[in-house]
């Protein structure tokens, strides 16, 4: 800590990302990447951009990508905002869309970037406890708030809320912004984008890092009422502007256009998730029902931190959170079948 740090910087508690190990022979099941790689059409679109157009500045509005997203969701391009990963989209939302003076509400077990952004932007917040089955109970959010945000499915539990529960929340909460973070929605959930035309306070965020396997490209987006999208554009353009680069726009648009590859690879991940769940249960693990590309599991007799360390010694990395109620869980990303088998084999060896 330097004497030049302001009290504000001293108080910041930054987000701790999952490890990105240097060793390539590890079975990496710790940051929910997609084992199948991006659409070949997205790769071809990026290659064409690289060889033909890199001397030109990108379109500051990313119109090509907005159109592809709008076509996919049957909305208009002015209902779409795009950014460098959904983390950046979320940063803009936290920076400008929540009311101050009343607390932002989010689940007490959720994506750990939310309290970090609250610290950065000086937003008061109130974590709302999950129920005893680790589910979000929407009735608990019916209280005065400066905004509400939750992932659906939730992270790191993987538990999914039905669209009806989200719609009931929106009906009871017309006066502040409700954000549904759908980073993992494509692995079995129904998108709340279907509700944006009816609820002008709803904003749905998504990422291309998971179901479209482009985590390294850094593309995320939000869909909502044009007024909310315009607010986000104003916030974005009040910085030195962070437009997407040409490769990101071309690759992300092509990934949205290639529905067949997207659907096929999502189905493969879902099938692997179900198979891995059964295999883990056979080893005595309790696995929460997941609609994401990861599972959240605990063993009644085995310590999660020791399991994570033992797995690592066998070349398998999973995520363990040293955090109250979830300390006995492991979050395990769904890999290719042979990676999932390596995990099961390693668990058997650890004994």
**Residue numbers at the binding site for ligand PMP (CB under 6 A):** 85-87, 111, 151, 155, 181, 183, 207, 209, 215, 220
Residue for token pair 């554009």: 233
Asked if 42 contacts 251 with a C-beta cutoff of 8 angstroms, the reply is yes
Residues belonging to the chain: 351
Tokens found for residue 125: 């917040």
Q: How far is the CB of 311 from ligand PMP (least distance, A)?
A: 20
For the CB of residue 25, give the shortest distance to ligand PMP in the complex, in Å: 24
Nearest residue (CB) to ligand PMP, 183 versus 308:
183
Q: Closest separation between CB of residue 277 and ligand PMP, Å?
A: 19
Measured distance CA(198)–CA(204) in Å, rounded = 13
Q: Which is nearer to ligand PMP, 111 or 141 (CB)?
A: 111
Nearer residue to ligand PMP within complex by CB, 27 or 183? 183
Query: Do the beta carbons of residue 221 and residue 232 sit within 8 Å?
Result: no
* Shortest distance, position 184 Cβ to ligand PMP, whole Å: 7
Tell me the CA end-to-end span of the chain in Å, nearest whole number.
43
The C-alpha atoms of residue 38 and residue 210 are separated, in whole angstroms, by 10
Q: Of 5 and 239, which has the nearer Cβ to ligand PMP?
A: 239
- Chain centroid to CA 34: how far? 13
Q: What is the nearest approach in angstroms of ligand PMP to the Cβ of residue 296? A: 12
Q: Are strands 104-107 and 147-151 parallel, antiparallel or unpaired?
A: parallel
Q: How far apart are CA 263 and CA 240, in angstroms?
A: 37
Nearer to ligand PMP, 291 or 346 (CB): 291
């Amino acid at each position: 800590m330097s004497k030049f740090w302001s009290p504000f910087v001293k108080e910041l508690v930054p987000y701790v990302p999952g490890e990105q190990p240097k060793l390539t022979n590890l079975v990496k099941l710790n940051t929910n990447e997609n084992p199948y790689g991006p659409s070949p059409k997205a790769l071809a679109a990026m290659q064409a951009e690289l060889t033909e157009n890199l001397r030109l500045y990108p379109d500051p509005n990313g119109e090509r990508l907005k159109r592809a997203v709008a076509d996919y969701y049957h909305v208009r391009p002015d209902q779409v905002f795009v950014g460098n990963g959904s983390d950046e989209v979320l940063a803009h939302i936290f920076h400008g869309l929540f009311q101050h003076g009343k607390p932002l509400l989010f689940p007490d077990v959720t994506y750990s970037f939310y309290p970090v952004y609250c610290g950065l932007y000086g937003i008061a917040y109130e974590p709302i406890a999950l129920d005893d089955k680790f589910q979000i109970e929407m009735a608990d959010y019916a209280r005065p708030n400066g905004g509400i945000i939750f992932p659906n499915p939730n992270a790191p539990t993987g538990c999914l809320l039905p669209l009806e529960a989200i719609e009931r929340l929106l009906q009871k909460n017309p006066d502040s912004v409700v954000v549904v973070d759908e980073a993992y929605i494509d692995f079995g959930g129904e998108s709340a984008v279907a509700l944006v035309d009816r609820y002008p306070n709803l904003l749905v965020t998504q990422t291309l890092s998971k179901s479209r396997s482009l985590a390294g490209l850094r593309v995320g987006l939000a869909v909502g009422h044009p007024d909310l999208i315009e607010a986000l554009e104003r916030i974005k353009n009040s910085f030195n502007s962070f437009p997407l680069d040409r490769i990101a726009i071309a690759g992300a648009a092509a990934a949205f256009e290639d529905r067949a590859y997207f659907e096929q690879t999502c189905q493969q991940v879902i099938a692997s998730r179900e198979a891995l769940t059964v295999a883990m249960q056979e080893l005595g693990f309790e696995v929460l029902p997941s609609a994401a590309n990861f599972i959240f599991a605990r063993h009644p007799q085995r310590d999660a931190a020791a399991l994570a360390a033992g797995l690592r010694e066998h070349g398998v990395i999973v995520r363990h959170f040293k955090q109250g109620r979830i300390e006995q869980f492991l979050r395990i990303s769904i890999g290719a079948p042979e990676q999932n088998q390596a995990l099961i084999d390693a668990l058997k060896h650890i004994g």
